[in-house]
Amino acid sequence: MRYLAGRLAWGLVILLGTSAITFAVAFVVPGDPARVIAGPRADPETLARVRRDLALDRPLAVQYARYLGRLARGDLGRSYATREPVRAMLLRRLPATATLALTALALAIAIGLAGGLLTARYAGTWVDRGVLVGSLVVLSAPVFWLGMLALYYVAFRWRLLPLGGASSPRHLILPALVLGSGVGVYYARLLHTSLAEVLGQDYVRAARARGVGAPRLLLVHALRNACLPLITVIGLDLAALMNGVVLTETVFHWPGIGRLAFDAVLSLDVPVIMGTVLLSAALVVAANLAVDLVYRLVDPRIRLG
């Protein structure tokens, strides 16, 4: 309990620092939210009225203090563009992002486990080299470029899947494949390296000397210890995916949090920007805590705190 209390306290400090930096950056970058809302041809009186209505005429410290007061009550403010509560906007977009994130992560774990175990089973052979070279090619390609290629060939030329959107389960396949494959090949390389190290340890050599077969040696004796680094990366990747992958959601017109953040930056919608960034920070803090707890379940020798 002391460990959890300490981690939660540090999490609050991280969220407070994140909110302060984001709030300051949002008002330092070039651009005027009032002019974006009122339009480029708005007269000075209209701009002054918009700034007064949105409290943009107050000092930055006063605006931030008011924001923290609302935040303590669970109020993330209202969008400058639509005047809709930011919390409602995030909750509406969260299911789409969660669906894409969990599907892509499940696919990535499957690819990572298959690739890592396959290269470890056939280490030093053409299978090992072929999988590693292929994973390097996929890792070197930007995700948005892979997404555009998939849209052009799979959706536009071959018409196998929809071009974009989220109106049916078929719309999920292409973005999940693009997103999951890029993450999965990284998992495969990470697991390959970890398995190579674990397979050289004494307890694995002793099990092999006792006549334990290769499948059981990999799956039972080596994989549990080899997957510890992978658990750390999976926890952080889940937080990143749940935040909404901006480029992927934009390319595939997926109505998630990443697309919402992209549109908010273009329109200088500061409350929405703050809401998406705070949600991202909270998910990262929660993912780190969850990874530490899972470590103890996987390996009881690991002690927390």
pLDDT digits (tens, 9 = 90+) for 102-120: 999 999 999 999 999 888 8
Tally of domains in the chain: 2
Residue 126 belongs to a domain:
yes
Half-sphere exposure of 111 (CA within 13 A, CB side): 25
H or E segment and range at residue 94: helix 86-121
Other C-beta atoms lying within 10 Å of the C-beta of residue 200: 10
- Report the CATH number that the domain containing residue 133 is assigned in CATH: 1.10.3720.10
Tens of pLDDT, residues 32-54: 778 777 777 888 888 888 888 87
Residue 256 belongs to a domain:
yes
Residue 160 belongs to a domain:
yes
H or E segment and range at residue 60: helix 60-72
3-state SS track over 123-172: CCCHHHHHHHHHHHHHHHCCHHHHHHHHHHHHHHHCCCCCCCCCCCCHHH
Residue 262 belongs to a domain:
yes
Predicted TM-score (pTM) above 0.75: yes
Amino acid at 95: P
Residues spanned by the domain of 165: 92-298
| pLDDT band per the 50, 70, 90 thresholds, residue 235 | confident
Residues 99 and 136 occupy one common structural domain: yes
Residues 255 and 144 occupy one common structural domain: yes
8 Å CB contact between 277 and 285:
no
Residues 291 and 182 occupy one common structural domain: yes
Comparing 267 with 171, the larger pLDDT belongs to 171
> Degrees (nearest 5) of the Cα angle 11, 16, 20?
150
Other C-beta atoms lying within 10 Å of the C-beta of residue 119: 25
8 Å CB contact between 218 and 120:
yes
Domain boundary (72, 107, 130) is at: 72
Q: 20-34, 99-113, 270-284 — which is least confidently predicted?
A: 20-34
Identify the CA nearest to 252 among candidates 180, 107, 105, 151. Answer: 151
Residue 85 belongs to a domain:
no
Residue 143 belongs to a domain:
yes
Tens of pLDDT, residues 208-225: 888 888 778 888 778 888
